Amino acid sequence: MASGLFAILDDVALLLDDAATMSKVAAKKTAGILGDDLAVNAEKAVGSPASRELPVIWAITKGSTINKLIILPLAFLLSAFAPGLIVPILLLGGAYLCFEGAEKIHEWISPHGHADGDQDPQQPGANDDGTLDEREQKKIKAAIRTDFILSIEIIVLALGTVIEQSLTIQILVVSFISLLATVGVYGLVALLVRMDDAGFYLIDKAESMGAEGNGAMAGGLRRLGNFMVAALPQIIRILGIIGTIAMLLVGGGMYSHNIDAIHHLLDPLPGLLGDLLAGIVVGVIMLAIVSLVKRLRGAGQAHN
């Protein structure tokens, strides 16, 4: 009985050791996309009024968790029974990410190009009848949609690193990477958006220490606090740019890595530049198609 129990424990330990080893490999493979995920979702999550930042991030985190719970079993089923569907799904997701990136650039170039109801939530609302809440909900839904596409990419990449392993190892490793992608990314986003609060705390602490005669330390804390408060808006702007580029890189990469003709065409270019170019081209095409559909729909409604 005892020997059987020790054998079982030894098997479990070996399994966990294999899972840990493969998790490191998968984490390295998905490090780039996890970084893109952070940039994209930080850009999506920040920008709400201070009192609503954490509730918005929590709502997106819950949506991200649900995304993972939907994608994980589907990924295992597709890998086992219909692996040929994985690439078309990735290409559809890539088209959506490229469209979002191109739309964001179009909005920078032409500020009046915002979709209805998609104004910056930092701007004052026209009234107090719940318009801000409606914009907030749209922002959360858009972030969760983007997270869904990025989650597919992360899970498929992680699955690809352990595809030759047993099903148990696959489940353990891919589930761990999925947990890391949710808790790690949105945990960092939550810390980021509260950076100004930490800065104000340091400033208040410096005032108290100055009153107690600790002038040198108080000055250091005050400078650090002022820097954190002043840096946050700049970091948010930078993350907005990085997030947009990341969407184009990830979306374009799905095409340049999965379609041989595009891969060979872009082969002379450095990898990231080729992915970015592919993302821009696909994004512009998708943006043109969506704009054309909207115009045709608007013309049809006007005619009726």
Tens digits of per-residue pLDDT, 165-224?
Answer: 777 777 888 888 888 878 887 888 888 877 888 888 888 888 887 666 666 677 888 888
Residue 36 falls inside a structural domain: yes
Rounded to 5 degrees, φ, ψ at 125 are: -75, 160
pLDDT score of 122 more than 50: no
Residue 121 falls inside a structural domain: yes
pLDDT score of 73 more than 80: yes
Interatomic CA distance for residues 127 and 131, integer angstroms = 7
For tokens 């930490």, the residue is 198
**Domain limits at 128?**
10-303
More confident of the two residues 119 and 243: 243
Give me the number of domains the chain comprises: 1
Interatomic CA distance for residues 279 and 99, integer angstroms = 9
Residue 145 falls inside a structural domain: yes
Residue 4 falls inside a structural domain: no
Interatomic CA distance for residues 264 and 256, integer angstroms = 8
Percent of the chain with pLDDT over 70: 73
Q: How confident is the model at residue 298 (pLDDT cuts 50, 70, 90)?
A: confident
pLDDT score of 247 more than 50: yes
Residue 108 falls inside a structural domain: yes
Q: Give the three-state DSSP class for 258.
A: coil
Question: What's the whole-model pTM score?
Answer: 0.69
Q: How confident is the model at residue 32 (pLDDT cuts 50, 70, 90)?
A: low
Residue 164 falls inside a structural domain: yes
Residue 133 falls inside a structural domain: yes
Cβ-proximal residues to 260 (8 Å cutoff; 6+ apart), any chain? none
Residue 168 falls inside a structural domain: yes
For tokens 């595809």, the residue is 163
The per-residue pLDDT for 255 is 92
The per-residue pLDDT for 277 is 94
Interatomic CA distance for residues 254 and 248, integer angstroms = 10
For tokens 């983007």, the residue is 146
Cβ atoms of 164 and 146 within 8 Å: the answer is: no
